[in-house]
Amino acid sequence: MGTLLAAQSHQAAGASGVFSLTWLLVALPMLGAAVLLLGGRRTDRFGHLLGAALPGAAFVVGVIEFIALLGRDGSDRALSQHLFSWVPAGGFQVDVGLLVDPLSMCFVLLITGVGTLIHVYSIGYMEHDPDRRRFFGYLNLFVAAMLLLVLADSYLTLYVGWEGVGLASYLLIGFWSYNPAYAAAAKKAFVANRVGDFGLSVAIMIMFAQLGTVSFQGVFAGAGHLSEGVATAMGLMLLLGACGKSAQFPLQSWLGDAMAGPTPVSALIHAATMVTAGVYLVVRSAPIFELAPNAQLVVVIVGAVTLIFGAIVGCAKDDIKKALAASTMSQIGYMMLAAGLGPVGYVFAIFHLLTHGFFKAGLFLGAGSVMHGMNDQVDMRRFGGLATVMKVTWITFGLGWLAIIGFPGLSGFWSKDKIIEAAFVGDGWRPWVFGLAALIGAGVTAFYMTRVFLLTFHGKRRWSEDVHPHESPLVMTVPLMILAVGSAFLGLLLGPTGALKTWLEPVTGVPGDESTALPLWSLTVLTVVLVVAGAGLAWSMYLREEVPVTAPRGSWLTRAARVDLYQDALNESLLMRPGQYLTRSLVYADNRGIDGAVNGLAALIGGTSGRFRRLQTGFVRSYALSMFGGAALVVGAMLLVRL
């Protein structure tokens, strides 16, 4: 822990040389978004090209900086670029600055690299959409916001990127917002994210109130002064933010609906990058979590629950995108679990995040390619036997499938296995509960991913009559191939060589040598056995046996998993309906209560004066009488006072 604090709190060197270009990383895609969104129809002709070129340019900048970073000492790899003073108010001074360090560099390369591939793919995928330019504008906006998120050097700047990606996600989920269900899904995603943002806001407030600063450097330097209770509160609030963004339990319900967006969006935002921002936040805030073991425990629990939850849901979905979304949720659960384990898990959380970014993006894009050939059909029970007609998609998707289930040698094997091992580290009940959860999750993952793969590409053709599947154009398949290669070999490159571990050490610290509750070799064997069992079960259920076109009723668990284990029903009955009731009754109370009191007072005054008005009879006699009466009163009063 001591090394960790020292690592992140020491003064980052000022950016010079190639690092003074860091601002371009954010500015380039931002420029694209501005041109495409403000330029309107005028930019229709070249919008998609510009939209794909700018993230590409950012990727080039990223690679140059990465190489430059490699050339520096391990302890000297944090460089900050101060841009401008943003919010100066008394003791609250926030400057916009960018921080390049090994951790953010991982993300920069992932976001710009995978992002560029997905942009290229979208050129083909969105070819027939009249609003393709607007789509690229939103995508560029997303890339800019995501880069700002990971490059920020203070929590408040991070927050800007944090909500910026939320906005881009909202716009892209609702890209076809003329469909009311899609518009509702977009809103749901934004609101669920806002619940998380509430946590992040409060965490930032605690930082300022306690430490007087919100910059990473200042917060981590002062973290040692925090009491454990405060650190726990801060950690839990950060976790709430992470849960919202990363679709972790209990804020997970929006991710499935988010599949309403075009498939490249699902690949980029809801699989590879944005949803992993929560993991980034937890790893980045490691110095805070290190001080709050209870908060860490909650992180692990959230991760474990989500990974099982997502895996169960994934087994029952027939919509290919929703099955993949459930899988994403489950895989991020793995990352979250690892991030909660402390230094022993940080590296593997990021490792799995990177490999997952590749293979899940590949899987989603593959699914998009299938949908492209199948008239946007998403029901896997209507697929089958596509391996022969869509060869490239089949092979690339297959590589992604093998990677995610942890086939020995491919990316997922290296990263996921390490998380399972890390989960078994320690003593007491924890390694058994969390390790077993991770282990079982691996088996279930193998089952549902094999199911997806077999239902889509193998077995009998169950297509509806009017579809004529065909392979997608090169502009779509080339990104698929690149991602497939990445899915296969990225793990090999980074894992067994220890490259990533050394690379991230300055940020995540050096874990001590800790022994696992079971011997390492037995864990590997167990995992492989479970994976084979899961895949075999799927094979026997979905390839050997006939797959009905309409879903059978299924067991209670299947039925529950189809409706996301009743999470929407729960949210609806616990939050939405009482909320609606509350707002409606408040409207009634406002009209009748507060406004009613005001109007009642007005009516009372009006009524009283109406009654007094009746005294004006118009008869001279009565006026004269009241004058006499008045005069008599005055005289009487005078006499009374005189006496």
Partner 1 sequence: MSFPWLTVIAAVPLAGAVAVALLPSGRSLLAKQVALGVSLVPLVLTVVMSLKFDSGSAAAFQFTENHDWIPQFGVSYALGVDGIGLVLIALTTVLTPVCLLASWRDAEEGRRSAKAYFALMLLLEAAMIGVFAATDVFLFYVLFEAMLIPMYFIIGAYGGAQRSYAAVKFLLYSLFGGLLMLAAVIGLFVVSKGGDHAFLLQNLVGTHFSPSTERLLFLGFFAAFAIKAPLWPLHTWLPDAAAEAPPGGAVLLVGVMDKVGTFGMIRLCLPLFPDASKWAAPVVITLAVIGILYGALLAIAQTDLKRLIAYTSISHFGFITLGIFAMTTQAQSGSTLYMVNHGFSTAALFLIAGFLISRRGSRAIDDFGGVQRVAPMLAGTFLVAGLSSLALPGLSSFVSEFLVLVGTFTRYEVAAVVATAGIILASLYILLMYQRTMTGEPTEETSKLTDLTPREAWVVAPLLAVIIALGFYPKPVLDVINPAVARTMHQVGQHDPAPSAEGVGK
Partner 2 sequence: MNPMNYVYLSSFLFAIGAAGVLLRRNAIVVFMCVELMLNACNLAFVTFARMQGNLDGQVIAFFVMVVAAAEVVVGLSIIVVIFRTRRSASVDGANLLKY
CA distance 249 to 306: 5
Nearer to partner 1, 27 or 106 (CB): 27
- The one-letter amino acid code at 345 reads G
Residue span binding partner 1 (CB under 8 A) among the ranges 84-92, 270-278, 371-379, 448-456: 84-92
Residue span binding partner 1 (CB under 8 A) among the ranges 156-164, 286-294, 455-463, 553-561: 156-164
* Binding status of residue 236 toward partner 1 by CB under 8 A: no
* Binding status of residue 38 toward partner 2 by CB under 8 A: no
Q: Which does 552 bind (CB under 5 to 8 A by kind): partner 1, partner 2, none?
A: none
CA distance 68 to 60: 12
Adjacency order of strands within the sheet including 13-14: 13-14, 79-89, 92-100
CA distance 543 to 633: 109
- The 3-class SS string of 546-583 reads CCCCCCCCCCHHHHHHHCHHHHHHHHHHHHHHHHHHHH
Select the residue interacting with partner 1 from 226, 242, 420, 442 (CB under 8 A): 226
- The 3-class SS string of 287-314 reads HHHHCCHHHHHHHHHHHHHHHHHHHHHH
Q: Which does 583 bind (CB under 5 to 8 A by kind): partner 2, partner 1, none?
A: partner 1
* Binding status of residue 605 toward partner 2 by CB under 8 A: no
* Binding status of residue 639 toward partner 2 by CB under 8 A: no
Phi-psi region of 620 (alpha: psi -120 to 50; beta: other; left: phi over 0): alpha
Nearer to partner 1, 464 or 599 (CB): 599
Q: Which residues contact 464 (CB under 8 A, 6 or more apart)?
A: 377, 382
Select the residue interacting with partner 1 from 70, 191, 631, 634 (CB under 8 A): 191
The distance of closest approach from Cβ of residue 616 to partner 1 in the complex, given in angstroms and rounded to an integer, is: 24
Binding flags for partner 1, 571-610, as an x/- string (CB under 8 A)? --------xx-xxx-xx--x---xx--x---x--------
Q: How many residues of this chain interact with partner 2, rule: CB under 8 A?
A: 11
Select the residue interacting with partner 2 from 128, 468, 614, 642 (CB under 8 A): 614
Helix/strand/coil for 154 = strand
Q: Which residues contact 566 (CB under 8 A, 6 or more apart)?
A: 560
Residue span binding partner 2 (CB under 8 A) among the ranges 391-399, 418-426, 488-496, 613-621: 613-621
Q: Which does 84 bind (CB under 5 to 8 A by kind): partner 1, partner 2, none?
A: partner 1
First to last CA, the chain: 96
Residue span binding partner 2 (CB under 8 A) among the ranges 408-416, 463-471, 559-567, 610-618: 610-618
What DSSP character marks residue 281?
H
CA distance 167 to 161: 10
Nearer to partner 2, 429 or 612 (CB): 612
The H-assigned helical ranges of 2-131 are: 2-9, 22-39, 47-70, 102-125
Nearer to partner 2, 70 or 631 (CB): 631
Largest CA distance in the chain: 122
Which residues of this protein are in contact with partner 1, per CB under 8 A?
Answer: 37, 40, 84-92, 156, 159-160, 162-164, 167, 170, 174, 177-180, 182-184, 186-187, 190-191, 194-195, 197-198, 201-202, 204-206, 208-212, 222, 225-227, 230, 579-580, 582-584, 586-587, 590, 594-595, 598, 602
Which residues of this protein are in contact with partner 2, per CB under 8 A?
Answer: 613-614, 616-621, 624-625, 628
